[in-house]
Amino acid sequence: MAGGPMPEWQNGTSTFSSRSSLRSERSHAGPRRCIQRWHPRARPAIKRYPSIQALRAIESVARNGALWRAAAELNVTRSAISHQLRLLEADLGFKIVERSGNKSEITPRALAYAEDVRRALSMIATSTARVAQEGLTGSLTISATPGFADGWLCLHLGDFIAEHPDVVVTVLSSHKMAETTNPEIDTFITFGHEPRANLRTEPLFAVEFTPLCSPAYLSRFESFNDLRILQQATLLHITDFTDWEDWMALSGLPSEDARRGICYSDMNIVHTAVLAGEGIAIGDTVLWGKDLREGRLMRPFSASLHADTGYFICTPKENIENPIVEEFHKWLKSKIEFSRLSSSRRP
């Protein structure tokens, strides 16, 4: 055979006699066996997949922000979580957790990997439920404030649809931030914590409202953090002067100084104007947080409004046990918590 050593029966001058000897040897050697010969050839690289336990561990640690919380969620010991993370570090070739004194923190690279793992685990769970015919089917109607719908919900809702492709979602946006009376709505996302009858109200996240503007607009002034720049600045308002009046009173400035500039009826229009460098507005640090992190907006002053309130989930009592509503709430809280942890760990 080509590529292997030449058999002895081909090495002499008499091929026939060699073959006869070979047959004689086989007759005395016992039952005839088939010997399979093969040649080494290039094989495609085999992909390595980390264990599902390790993947669940890193996803839970990233989402919960602590090893002990992940251990409690997965019903294992903290040392078991640490062991799975060490195995995963060996597979990935980079650190997952770094210690700072007595505190352990997940690394930015591991955090990004955990987000991919979360999506993959969600796809596996969704596919499993679909094959088992246990997936959710039906419709979900959500009411959300315009700012939340535009600044957060529409950027992430595709992940919920990916997990539950047989659920048809409708999002209605109301300019009444505390609107909860529409009987066609399954669940409401509102701003403020006014008492609401016949609803279960749960806090979603707190927010801060503070002056925000573009770097280009702020560069027009010599002193970035001097309150006196507001005397020359174009103030942008949402509906009325209330937010600017309250903020100036909080900062020790005359509230009448707020009654100038441009009033818009929609928060999204104000957001567009601020990004374009048309002025400075009292903005939401959560919904406009991505613009702040990526440098499109700046926060020149530290004082803020509404730190004691925020966004809430309000659900009519008849929908509390609706499985689609329950799953949406679970997804929403998990997604917001993961986004918050990701933002807090960005340099």
| pLDDT the model gives residue 126 | 59
Give the pLDDT confidence of 55-72 residue by residue, as tens digits.
Answer: 999 999 988 888 888 898
| pLDDT the model gives residue 30 | 47
Q: Tell me the average pLDDT of the chain.
A: 80
Residue type for 50, please? P
**Taking 60 as the threshold, does the pLDDT of residue 217 lie above it?**
yes
Could you tell me the pTM of the whole model?
A: 0.54
| pLDDT the model gives residue 286 | 80
CB 297 within 8 A of CB 291: yes
| pLDDT the model gives residue 305 | 85
Q: What is the mean pLDDT of residues 6-22?
A: 41
Calpha distance 109→120 (Å, rounded): 17
**Taking 60 as the threshold, does the pLDDT of residue 206 lie above it?**
yes
| pLDDT the model gives residue 22 | 38
Give the pLDDT confidence of 145-198 residue by residue, as tens digits.
Answer: 888 888 889 989 999 999 999 899 999 987 666 667 788 899 999 887 666 778
- Lowest mean pLDDT, pick from 31-35, 207-211, 317-321: 31-35
Q: Tokens 């404030």, residue?
A: 145
| pLDDT the model gives residue 15 | 39
**Taking 50 as the threshold, does the pLDDT of residue 24 lie above it?**
no
What are the Cα distances from residue 56, in Å, to 63, 188, 244, 282, 342?
A: 11, 31, 46, 41, 18
Q: Which residue has the higher pLDDT, 152 or 328?
A: 328
| pLDDT the model gives residue 146 | 83
CB atoms within 10 A of CB 86: 12
10 Å CB burial of residue 16 (0-12, 13-18, 19+) is: exposed
Nearest to 141 by CA among 328, 337, 347, 339: 328
- Lowest mean pLDDT, pick from 13-22, 47-56, 236-245, 319-328: 13-22
Please give the order of strands across the beta sheet that includes 310-316: 167-173, 138-144, 187-191, 310-316, 199-206
Give the rounded percent of residues in the chain with a pLDDT score beyond 70. 78
Is the sign of the CA dihedral 308, 340, 179, 327 positive or negative?
Answer: negative
